[in-house]
Amino acid sequence: MLDILFPKRCALCDGVLSGSEVNFGCCSFCNERVERIHSPRCYACGAPLLSFDKELCDDCVNRPRSYESNRAVFAYGDVVKDSLMRFKYHNRREYASYYGQVINEELGDYIKSSGVKALIPIPIHRNRRKTRGYNQAELLANEISRCCGVEVLDKFLIRSQETTAQKGLSNLERLKNLENSFNVTQDMIQLDKVMLVDDIFTTGSTIEACTRVLLRAGVSKVYALTVAVGQGY
């Protein structure tokens, strides 16, 4: 009955699913047309590269990077962009199970070989959480954790300030601003390596800011993973 009233929808195109598609969470059409990222990819942000000649994409050459690396399943094309918009702003929370599944398929080895002891979702400010009702990064981290067994730490890193207007600031000032809006809730936590989880990596400044806060709090190494990454080349 519930399935008739609220049919399961494709996480990529939002079309109604049928048969075995229901368990997978994505329609066969989208599964064929939306490519997952494979090598060669940027060593830092994980964006697809055109050839094996380079290690870094053009963006990452000049990007400050304290995190070890980011990996993503999809390049940020139109289909993935619309899907993430619905996931983040239009209450399509159920997409998390599909994203979690493909992340584990594509990045399970990355998570395992990094040796991380915890997954840390990029936090949102409590006011934003109140209006939106959920933090999409937390939903993702929970799904990934269910498949790979690494625990989720969702109370350690918090967003204590909403981002203020960043206009007119230099890149460095922006990053500093962002860094000041995150905090850890306890000191001296015994954490070795952790992995940040977010929906998308665009400029990388959020992941960089969170990494700096975590390293200061005593974490030894920070890795990151996202559903999507902007095109590098």
Site residues (vs Zn ion, CB under 5 A):
10, 12-13, 15, 27, 30, 42, 44-45, 47, 57, 60, 232
Q: How far is the CB of 21 from Zn ion (least distance, A)?
A: 8
Closest listed residue to residue 110, CA positions, set 71, 73, 75, 52: 71
Give the ranges where 115-169 is alpha helix by DSSP (H): 126-132, 136-148
Which tokens hold the place of 191? 């954490």
Q: Please say which residue, 15 or 40, places its beta carbon nearer to Zn ion.
A: 15
Q: How far is the CB of 218 from Zn ion (least distance, A)?
A: 27
Q: In sequence order, which residues have a C-beta less than 8 Å from that of residue 11 and are 6 or more positions away?
A: 25, 26, 83, 87, 92, 94, 95, 98, 99
Q: Are strands 151-152 and 193-201 parallel, antiparallel or unpaired?
A: unpaired
Q: Give the integer Cα–Cα distance in Å for 63 and 66.
A: 10
Place of tokens 């990077």: 65
Which tokens hold the place of 178? 């962002």
Q: Please say which residue, 39 or 190, places its beta carbon nearer to Zn ion.
A: 39
| Cα separation values, 92 from 141, 148, 200, Å | 16, 23, 16
Q: Please say which residue, 124 or 175, places its beta carbon nearer to Zn ion.
A: 175
Q: How far is the CB of 31 from Zn ion (least distance, A)?
A: 8
Q: Please say which residue, 21 or 138, places its beta carbon nearer to Zn ion.
A: 21
Q: How far is the CB of 119 from Zn ion (least distance, A)?
A: 22
Q: How far is the CB of 66 from Zn ion (least distance, A)?
A: 15
Q: How far is the CB of 83 from Zn ion (least distance, A)?
A: 9
Q: Please say which residue, 182 or 201, places its beta carbon nearer to Zn ion.
A: 201
User: Can you spell out the DSSP letters for 23-58?
Assistant: HHTS-HHHHHHSPBP-SSB-TTT--B-S-TT-SS-H
Q: Please say which residue, 9 or 88, places its beta carbon nearer to Zn ion.
A: 9
